[in-house]
């Protein structure tokens, strides 16, 4: 009888979305949950992270440069067969890490755009608006692996379901 109850308890734990979460992390107190998706096929000097906030889906694009590029303003994204789309700029954080200058720009993105990135099968390019002392320039970031974005969105909606009730 003990073995049956142990098996049932183990099954409940394993089937629990929080316990089997791949992208979401629940704090030990159970009062904080964060869901983060990191893109792993991008150029060496950049990082892309997608998360969900109370304002909606956000994408942080981090670039490491020799000097600050002052990345501010809306960005553009283009998939291999898609049209150029604009993504709304929120803010930029700047810092010095490992002898390089880091600029982490945060953008508000739509769920349909995230699905489009997942279906792009590679060849996604982001054009970040940067300001040089003499002219406006674009910082280009290529990415090629948004394959599991649908699973991330589904898991995030399951674990953060209260935030999605108003949508």
Q: What is the CATH number of the domain that holds 65?
A: 2.60.40
Mean pLDDT on 102-123: 89
Q: Cα 98 to chain center, whole Å?
A: 23
| Among 64, 122, 67, CA closest to 97 | 64
Q: Which residues form the domain of 133?
A: 2-164
Q: Which residue has the higher pLDDT, 135 or 33?
A: 33
For the segment 65-86, what is each residue's pLDDT rounded down to a tens digit? 888 788 899 999 988 888 899 9
The number of domains in the chain is 1
pLDDT at 10 over 60: no
CB 33 within 8 A of CB 26: yes
pLDDT at 158 over 80: yes
Mean pLDDT on 9-27: 56
The average confidence (pLDDT) of the chain is: 79
**Sign of the CA dihedral with 106 first, then 141, 98, and 38 last:** positive
Q: Please give the Cα distance from 47 to 106 (Å, whole number).
A: 12
Q: Which residue has the higher pLDDT, 136 or 131?
A: 131
Give the model's confidence band at 12: pLDDT under 50 very low, under 70 low, under 90 confident, else very high. very low
CB 35 within 8 A of CB 155: yes
What's the angle, vertex CA 7, arms to CA 3 and CA 8, rounded to 5? 120
């Amino acid at each position: 009888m003990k073995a049956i109850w142990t098996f049932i308890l183990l099954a409940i734990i394993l089937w629990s979305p929080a316990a089997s979460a791949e992208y979401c992390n629940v704090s030990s107190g159970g009062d904080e949950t964060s869901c983060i998706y990191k893109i792993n096929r991008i150029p060496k000097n950049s990082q892309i992270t997608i998360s969900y906030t109370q304002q909606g889906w956000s994408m942080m694009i981090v670039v490491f440069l020799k000097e600050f590029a002052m990345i501010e303003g809306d960005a553009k994204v283009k998939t291999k067969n898609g049209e150029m789309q604009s993504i709304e700029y929120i803010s930029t954080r700047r810092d010095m890490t490992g002898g390089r200058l880091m600029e982490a720009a945060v953008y508000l993105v739509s769920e349909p755009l995230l699905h489009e990135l997942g279906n792009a099968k590679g060849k996604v390019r982001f054009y970040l608006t940067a300001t040089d002392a003499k002219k406006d320039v674009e910082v280009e970031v290529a990415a090629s692996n948004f394959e599991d974005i649908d699973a991330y969105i589904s898991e995030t909606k399951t674990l953060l379901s209260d935030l999605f009730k108003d949508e």
